[in-house]
Homo-oligomer: A and B are copies of this chain.
Amino acid sequence: MTDTDEAALGIGEVSARTGLATHTLRFYEDEGLLAEVRRNAAGRRVYTREDVDWLRVCAKLRASGMPLPEIRRYVELVREGPGNEAERYELLHGHETRVRQQMADLQEALDTIHGKVTLYARHLAAGTADQLWRDGPACEEPAAR
């Protein structure tokens, strides 16, 4: 359970190491996110260290919103072997661009939210919170700014 593992892990151990539920691990396999996982005599999945590394990458890709079909496509390209590196690059680079855009959008939303939060904080601290709205729910700040 420490680090004395011989690079052959059961699904439960992989779950613990990747943070993905066992059901999710099987689901990812069905979805083609891993090459077929090996089995032992009893038909149980046996994961390698590389499987775990790749699953961790998958988790990151998912965390950044890459759709499963796109991850699968990437796996397929890698499995096809050398010669399609340009397409792999396109795939990842395109995703990177989307993630950056997403972060920009998020930052913009954050600015709006943080503006309101500091407004509240200021008025709560000054005890003048009840002066925040003169007229209706909509105009918390007269005209942004």
Interface residues, chain A, CB within 8 Å of chain B?
35, 48, 50-51, 53-54, 57, 60-61, 63-64, 75, 78-79, 81-83, 85-86, 88-89, 92-93, 95-96, 99-100, 102-103, 105-110, 112-114, 116-117, 120-121, 123-124, 129-130, 132-133, 136-140
* Nearest B residue (CB) for A100: B110
* Contact assessment for A103 and B106 in the assembled complex, using a CB-CB cutoff below 8 Å: yes
Q: A82-B130, A102-B106, A113-B99 are in contact. Are A89 and B136 (CB under 8 A)?
A: no
Identical copies of this chain, number: 2
Max count, chain B CB within 10 A of own CB: residue among A61, A88, A103, A138: A138
Question: In the bound complex, do residue B109 and residue A60 qualify as a contact, i.e. CB atoms below 8 Å apart?
Answer: yes
State whether A96 and B113 are in contact (beta carbons under 8 Å apart), knowing that A60-B108, A133-B82, A137-B54 are contacts in the complex. yes
Q: How far is B72's CA from A84's CA once the two chains are assembled, in angstroms? A: 49
How far in angstroms is the closest Cβ of chain B from A96?
Answer: 5
Main secondary structure of the interface of A (DSSP, over half): helix
B117 near A96 (CB under 8 angstroms)?
Answer: yes
- With both chains docked as a complex, state the minimum distance between the C-beta of A71 and any C-beta of chain B, in angstroms: 12
Cβ of A116: which chain B residues have Cβ within 8 Å of it?
92
Name the residue among A75, A79, A120 with the largest chain B CB count within 10 angstroms.
A120
Partner of A121 from the list B54, B89, B120, B137 (CB cut-off 8 Å) is: B89
